[in-house]
Structure 1
Amino acid sequence: MFTEETFPSTRNPSGSESNVVDATTPFSSAVDARFRMGASRSPEGKEITVDSRSLLRDGERWLPVMGEFHYARYPRTEWRDELLKMKMGGIDIVATYVFWIHHEEIEGEFDWHDQRNLREFVALCGELGLYSVVRGGPWCHGEVRNGGLPDWLLASGCQPRSDDPAYLRPAHRLYEQIARQIEGLLWKDGGPVIGFQCENEYGGPAEHLLTLKNIAREAGIDVPLYTRTGWPELTTAPPPGELMPLFGGYPDGFWDRAVSEMPPGFAENFLFRTVRADVSVATDQLGVREIGEEPENRYYPYFACEIGGGMMPSYHRRIRIAPADITALALAKIGSGNNLQGYYMYHGGTNPEAKLTTLQESQATNYWNDLPVKTYDFQAPLGEFGQVRPHYHSLRCLHQFLRDFGPALSTMPTFLPEMLPKNTADDSTLRWAVRTDGRSGFLFVNNYQRLAEMPPKSNVRFDIRLGGGTLCVPSGPVTIPANSSFFWPLHLSFNGADLIYATAQPLCRLTAGQTTYVVFSTTGDVPAEFVFDATATVESTTGTVTATASEIRIARITPGTDAAIRLRTPANTRLVVILLDEKQAMTCWKAELRGQERLFLSAATLICGDDSVRLSATDPADFSVSILPAPALMDQSMTLEPTNDGLFQHFAIVRDAPAATLPVSVEQIRAAGTPRPVSMGSAGVAEAPTDDDFGNAAVWRIVLPQPEDLTRDLILRIRYYGDVARIYRNGVLLNDNFYNGDPFEIGLRRSAPGIYTDELLLKILPLSPDAPIYLPADAWSQTDNQAAPVIEIYETYTAELTVVDDNGSLPSTHPYEPSSFQKFRANTKT
């Protein structure tokens, strides 16, 4: 039973009514609902189920992270490395669209080969220990031609996306084909496929979605989860429990009709709120809607499938994403109660070649926007050519937290403060929320909003009213940093030691023997303060200790790789707190190596196999790693001698970068002509240029030096000013870019060796100063359409360290095949 004494910090309440959350309402479970899902048990007896609060794995709460990656938009030979990057980034579930037009462009001729091989992709997910959700359409969108519907289907006269039998017959055939591709790979078979989405962004009668679900089941797609997008509102209410509604939210949208910064609606996603729907999604096709909630949502847990991992530029909206746009929005969704953190997109790609047409969405096909012909990079955490972006690392920190603390978090509803922002323009009211089960919980703060300068908030304390009293955090007023987002723990128990609160963000925890290590990150300049129940005993600390009869307060802690705090718990186990600064936290990884979970600190991108660690970086100076607990490691047949790095052992890897960057020869063939007048397309927004328009483009011939090693991961980076840039290889379009101020990048390795000998032409269309488009203000600052592009090559280097056995020999197992699923034959089924 709680008493005021349980919360010693209540003796000096902050008195700040603006920072009060009342979470005294007794916790009650969500509405009891019976879900009509598919087979939930694997041959090994493992179960994946769902209730109205969360997913469950073998009866235990589960808050997974899902990332979208389109197999048909990425070379098959590179899937393995990219999926491993996703896994190391904290992804548990790989979601992927099956675009009908990618597979049956010509009626009756299905293509499941090479990078269109769904079966091999899903099997590889399973082999690498990743779950899979197949988003099967028939209509998908995904910025694909006709939303993924083949041209022949539209020409047939049927009524798409309806129960018209003339539509359902070919749709049934599509589902049967998908079922054949994933046959034997379903969860009930011991495979990775745990979910199937019917349709996408569908706003008609619910009966059509139920028809599609029944067709899927008849075809043999029997999975633990059947889903739909939770937007827009259906015209008829679906029976409860048939399809799980999944939601989303983006920092900005290429689809909006406005050509101004941050159209109304998108900023709402940076607020904490309990309404799940995002009315700014798909305003091109659905228009502007009022914020509301479908009554049926009370039956379901709050799940998301489309939290923006980035954003594509369209021709009329050249959005440029900042990494913090993505991280802050992701944190806001977690703080708002989301229990399935699904991103669209997590990995970028390139539209594949087709037989009859190009495959991008365009106004020329009576769709809403003009997208690039080839690139679908999406400014995602992992780019079109595998580039690792800063938000890959910041999201990875969040995902490590969810993996270790998500099961508890999933039981905690969201409570909003008594004083909320008046609107998204209100930058003076602090934005925060608490998720709690009545005792334990987490305090979330988001003082960030895209393209807004959010000022610091001074003299802040939080009064959190729980069942046993009011918890005041921290002990004295602090200043919340400008443009910051973070969360702090409340009443977490570690082996019997109760952490009452900390003004530091938990990253992950690790148990080794009788010792539990918990890693935290500082919050900007906010002083780190840890308050424990007095039943614990402080053995050592880098800070100062103040003790009372009920609590131990540790402050003025120095962040670093040593133990910030060592405690002896009432259970006679040890708790070690590691406090990293924010820069160090971005280099913190947790992964299994040689059958043991370990902590890693490295600025490189890591991939851990059973017995090896691969480091990748664009700067060889980043080739070092600190490990806790550390095994013996070998690099290029030489055993490495570690040095002490606090609690870690530090391994330095020496690699010499090439003496000089690879030179690129650039020759101008034609100067740019007069900028074309930009017309409005059928959907009422600026229309992208046609192939003929590029007759007016500046043309540059690029000659690349051929490296001796064609497997080197080289990327061509082009800094330019203009409207649209295209690269042609022997007259065939290789890639394209809608200018938004960022460089245009093209991976070279996948096109080797021909790309080094074939003719490469760069065409840059001049930009009209009065083009009716949105472009970031600084991107307009360069106005010289005749300026020469700056072209360079950069490289991603790799180093691989291998665990040395006790006898000094190397292990014989494959280093990159950690598998919790059976291995399946991935041969194409036709």
Structure 2
Amino acid sequence: MNRPSPEPAVRRLTVPPVPAPESAPLDLGGAGIAVTRRHLTRSGEPWIPVMGEYHYSRDRPGNWERELRKMRAGGVGVVSAYVVWILHEEVRGRVRWDGHLDLRRFVRTAGEVGLDVVVRIGPWVHGETRNGGFPDWLQELPVHHRTDDPAYLAPVRDWYAAIGEQLEGLFLSDEGGGPVIGVQIENELYDQPGHLGTLRTMAEAAGLRAPLWTATGWGGARLPRGRVLPVYAGYPDGFWEESATGWPDFGPMHFSFSTRRDDLSVGADLRTAPGVEDVVEDAAGEEDPWPFATCELGGGMQVAYHRRPLVDPDDVAALALTKIGSGSAWQGYYLYHGATQVPGELAGTQESQATGYPNDLPVLDYDFFAPIGAAGAQRPHFHRLRRQHLFLQAFGAELATAPAVLPEPDGVRWSVRANGSRGFLFVNNHQPAAEPLPAVDGVRFEIGLGERNVTVPREPVGLRPGAYFTWPVRQAVGEIPALTATAQPVTQLLSDDGSLVVLAAVPGIPVELQIEGVAPDDISGADLEVAGDLVIARPLRDPGPDCVVRAGRTTLVFLDEAAADALWKGQVAGRETLLIWPGSAWFDGGFRVVLPSGDQVVRACPPLALPQEPAQEPAGPVFSRHRVPGASVSHPLQAPRFGQVLTAPVRTGGSAGRLSAPTDGDFAALDPVALPLPGEPLDENLGQDGQLVLRVTWTGDALRLYAGQRMIADQFWSGRDLEVDLTAHRDEIRSGGLWIRAFAWAPGSGVHVDPRVRPHATGPVLTVHAARLDVVRTRSLS
């Protein structure tokens, strides 16, 4: 006898009443910024900052404005940056602020672009820098470093005074209001709360007058009560783990909704003793009476010689969304923009076993596989994160006041952030490839909000492996009083003529709308069903730029995943504009696109002042279509062949006995191999916007790239291409050529490389599979 399948279980959660947020017990705020126990406010409005790390001293000043504009176009509103002491004062008493060290110019440029700034002033910053950023002369002083030893505080006081002079008049609290809103003191100092308080006092005495003061809270850090806001980290993998470690044990916590903020593993390889506390408690014993803030959500992951994580774009985006669903009130990424380590005048700044660290890192490569690469590439996770950041811009004020409510474990990772009768549902079914999550069938949620129970979706759906999303639950969207939907809100344009709201469909889950407060006769573009006071609407078209449902004066557009990743929002010719562009771009008064090699279409709402597409490709119901002619050029290069195929000497070293990278002497013993370049791209006048970017696809162990005799890039192979901006090296290449020295991958190597790409050959492997030179050109559309 056949029995019917059991009804899929409904996953239930009831949201308790939410009290109004109270002020946090912190000595912070001012200049329009305040901190409650749950969130931050700005000008009296709830505010979720989005912050990205970009190291001005590890890039060329001529790039700063362009790269900061890229960050802002990605939805970042705050740029953070280490001020690396060892670069600014290699010789005691000679503090440099010129060229790439011009902190004042960088901060002013960020403000002109429209970004706030958080300066991370150390004095110890780490940042994968030798001595943690301490100058050699400071490191060698007979003092108790990173304590209140007066002999240590004296040079720190001078350093802070120098920073204060550079930032004079640039703080938000200054007359006229500058871009600097916050200061982070020290980094990863877990057992000196009194010293951290001293550092803040010294910084304020030096003229740093920020409304926000932060310190890293991970590692069970003990922080000075009330003096700093703890900020936390979350990485999808870690180069600091052992080479024999698979996916680290700390990984799952960052892909699970949780009230746990601290990750004790971050920085553990540099601590001499275990963490002291898992949480920071105030005097009354209440845990964390301040917002959940982050400064180091992994925008990617650096590689070390012994361990080379291969982080995927979805790893970054799913982790970030999980933190939002866990109650994050401040999304901060490290790194958001990749960098290149800068040698000082006297010595390099590389973190290495030779300089007292457990790990050997590259001499120059600090790309981090960040959302924006060191050469300026806007990578897939830049676009996926932009979706989340646009959501926070449009709906963050509503979300900020809503605490996270977590269900009992029920086979699906989900949470609700709600306040009163409305909220947002978060789901994450993604983990890195080392431990992926399985599909889940029969998924449906029932959420109790006050006197209302909301079931979404109406019929159970399957949850695909790798899915992660946010759904509105009875949210005011546009002019719809309450909308529940199986699609993720991205952004909205509000005007006197009506509202435009853009949502992203979830692959494999049909779009379903539960609309309250709009009569069925005022809804078009969907199949309708009336259920009590709800109108159930299902769009007539598949998700895409032309999938439109109109509900009263509100137009809803449901994009497919590719179009959602291609959605941009910014000022174009003085008007807030939505654009669908599947390439790289930023805003500079217009919409500056990186021109493709062939013609491409940009969609815009409102229309641009460009010619419309021909009649055979008409404009859609919302977005106009405009053709952008191709102009960038890609030159394939002849892949070099290596006469020598040698593996690096096997050594171990450092405080943890880990595998060591080949030395300068090892590389010098290799024969250099020429990488021939065509003459035209180097000789032509590229103009102010042009770039020459070299991309090399290769397999091996460790590689160094030289312009003439000077090393300009290096990489430990992890399965990723080498990307190098050659724009500033044209003269050196023209006179001395471009050369490669590289070691082969060794069979049976003890180096950790992701199993998805790890070679399984029986002999050494050293191959350049492809190389090309991209001549990058841009055009501003308006």
C-alpha offsets along residues 524-574 of structure 1, whole Å, 9 cap, x if unaligned?
Answer: 110100011154445353321012441100025422323621122xxxxx0
Structure 2 residue 370 is the aligned partner of structure 1 residue 380: yes
Give the superposition deviation at 1:583: 1.1
Change (3 A) 1:786 1:453: closer
C-alpha offsets along residues 6-34 of structure 1, whole Å, 9 cap, x if unaligned?
Answer: xxxxxxxx9866722221x2212456434
Does the 8 Å contact 2:708/2:735 carry over to 1? no
Equivalent-residue separation in structure 1 for 2:647 and 2:338 (angstroms): 33
Structure 2 residue 450 is the aligned partner of structure 1 residue 467: yes
| Equivalent residue for 2:326, pick from 312, 323, 336 | 336
C-alpha offsets along residues 22-57 of structure 1, whole Å, 9 cap, x if unaligned?
Answer: 21x22124564343236x22xxxxx22222222211
Does the 8 Å contact 2:747/2:764 carry over to 1? no
| Equivalent residue for 1:533, pick from 516, 519, 528 | 516
Equivalent residue runs for 1:371-450 within 5 Å: 371-419=361-409, 429-450=411-432
C-alpha offsets along residues 454-491 of structure 1, whole Å, 9 cap, x if unaligned?
Answer: 22111111111221132111111111111111110001
Secondary structure of residue in 1 paired with 2:371: coil
Question: Which range is displaced more, 719-728 or 147-156?
Answer: 719-728
Structure 2 residue 548 is the aligned partner of structure 1 residue 564: yes
Corresponding residue for residue 108 of structure 1: 93
Corresponding residue for residue 750 of structure 1: 728
Change (3 A) 1:164 1:604: same
Secondary structure of residue in 2 paired with 1:96: strand
One-letter identity of the residue aligned with 1:593 = V
Secondary structure of residue in 1 paired with 2:18: coil
One-letter identity of the residue aligned with 1:749 = T
Does the 8 Å contact 2:693/2:776 carry over to 1? no
Structure 2 residue 300 is the aligned partner of structure 1 residue 326: no
Equivalent-residue separation in structure 2 for 1:169 and 1:466 (angstroms): 57
| Equivalent residue for 1:226, pick from 213, 225, 228 | 213
Give the superposition deviation at 1:310: 0.6
Does the 8 Å contact 1:51/1:300 carry over to 2? yes
Corresponding residue for residue 629 of structure 1: 606
Question: Which range is displaced more, 256-265 or 218-227?
Answer: 256-265
Secondary structure of residue in 2 paired with 1:295: coil
Give the superposition deviation at 1:657: 5.5
Equivalent residue runs for 1:5-404 within 5 Å: 19-23=11-15, 25-30=16-21, 32-37=23-28, 40-41=30-31, 47-189=32-174, 190-235=177-222, 238-239=224-225, 241-286=226-271, 292-296=278-282, 297-404=287-394
C-alpha offsets along residues 650-678 of structure 1, whole Å, 9 cap, x if unaligned?
Answer: 100222565x725447464x413354223
Give the superposition deviation at 1:267: 1.9
Question: Which range is displaced more, 347-356 or 402-411?
Answer: 347-356
Give the superposition deviation at 1:249: 0.4
C-alpha offsets along residues 761-802 of structure 1, whole Å, 9 cap, x if unaligned?
Answer: 211113332333211124332645364423422426434245
Question: Which range is displaced more, 533-542 or 128-137?
Answer: 533-542
Does the 8 Å contact 1:503/1:523 carry over to 2? yes
Give the superposition deviation at 1:679: 2.2
Give the superposition deviation at 1:696: 5.0
| Equivalent residue for 1:764, pick from 720, 727, 742 | 742
Corresponding residue for residue 599 of structure 1: 578
In structure 1, runs of 5+ residues without a counterpart are: 1-13, 42-46, 421-428, 569-573, 804-830
Change (3 A) 1:258 1:801: closer
Equivalent residue runs for 1:662-681 within 5 Å: 662-664=636-638, 666=640, 668=642, 670-673=643-646, 675-681=648-654
Equivalent-residue separation in structure 1 for 2:599 and 2:362 (angstroms): 34
Secondary structure of residue in 2 paired with 1:157: coil
Corresponding residue for residue 494 of structure 2: 511
Equivalent-residue separation in structure 1 for 2:779 and 2:611 (angstroms): 9
Structure 2 residue 597 is the aligned partner of structure 1 residue 620: yes
Corresponding residue for residue 648 of structure 1: 623
Change (3 A) 1:696 1:753: closer
Equivalent-residue separation in structure 2 for 1:341 and 1:674 (angstroms): 42
Equivalent-residue separation in structure 1 for 2:566 and 2:663 (angstroms): 45
Secondary structure of residue in 1 paired with 2:699: coil
Give the superposition deviation at 1:67: 0.3
Secondary structure of residue in 1 paired with 2:635: coil
Equivalent-residue separation in structure 2 for 1:735 and 1:131 (angstroms): 31
Corresponding residue for residue 423 of structure 1: none
Does the 8 Å contact 1:710/1:752 carry over to 2? no
Give the superposition deviation at 1:98: 0.4
In structure 2, runs of 5+ residues without a counterpart are: 1-5
Change (3 A) 1:681 1:514: same
Equivalent-residue separation in structure 2 for 1:665 and 1:321 (angstroms): 27
State the TM-score, normalizing by the size of structure 1.
Answer: 0.88
Secondary structure of residue in 1 paired with 2:446: strand
Secondary structure of residue in 2 paired with 1:147: helix
Structure 2 residue 656 is the aligned partner of structure 1 residue 683: yes
Change (3 A) 1:298 1:539: same
Corresponding residue for residue 725 of structure 1: 703
Secondary structure of residue in 1 paired with 2:270: helix
Secondary structure of residue in 2 paired with 1:167: helix
Does the 8 Å contact 1:534/1:549 carry over to 2? no
Question: Which range is displaced more, 157-166 or 778-787?
Answer: 778-787
Secondary structure of residue in 2 paired with 1:645: coil
Change (3 A) 1:279 1:761: same
C-alpha offsets along residues 685-706 of structure 1, whole Å, 9 cap, x if unaligned?
Answer: 1112211122454631222223
Does the 8 Å contact 1:503/1:530 carry over to 2? yes
Equivalent-residue separation in structure 2 for 1:675 and 1:687 (angstroms): 10
Structure number with the bigger relative contact order (C-alpha 8 A, sep ≥ 6) is 1
Equivalent-residue separation in structure 2 for 1:575 and 1:796 (angstroms): 43
Secondary structure of residue in 1 paired with 2:502: strand
Change (3 A) 1:640 1:179: farther
Change (3 A) 1:145 1:747: same
One-letter identity of the residue aligned with 2:660 = E
Equivalent-residue separation in structure 1 for 2:637 and 2:7 (angstroms): 64
Does the 8 Å contact 1:92/1:130 carry over to 2? yes
Does the 8 Å contact 1:88/1:607 carry over to 2? yes
Give the superposition deviation at 1:414: 0.5
Structure 2 residue 571 is the aligned partner of structure 1 residue 589: no
| Equivalent residue for 2:672, pick from 693, 696, 699 | 699
Equivalent-residue separation in structure 1 for 2:659 and 2:766 (angstroms): 24
Equivalent-residue separation in structure 1 for 2:320 and 2:276 (angstroms): 22
Give the superposition deviation at 1:514: 2.4
Corresponding residue for residue 661 of structure 1: 635
Change (3 A) 1:787 1:101: closer
One-letter identity of the residue aligned with 2:90 = E
Give the superposition deviation at 1:285: 2.1
Does the 8 Å contact 1:246/1:302 carry over to 2? yes
| Equivalent residue for 1:502, pick from 479, 485, 489 | 485
C-alpha offsets along residues 198-242 of structure 1, whole Å, 9 cap, x if unaligned?
Answer: 10111122110000000000000001101101122235x622x21
Give the superposition deviation at 1:633: 2.9
Question: Which range is displaced more, 75-84 or 703-712?
Answer: 703-712
Secondary structure of residue in 1 paired with 2:328: coil
Question: What is the aligned-residue RMSD (CA, Å)?
Answer: 2.4
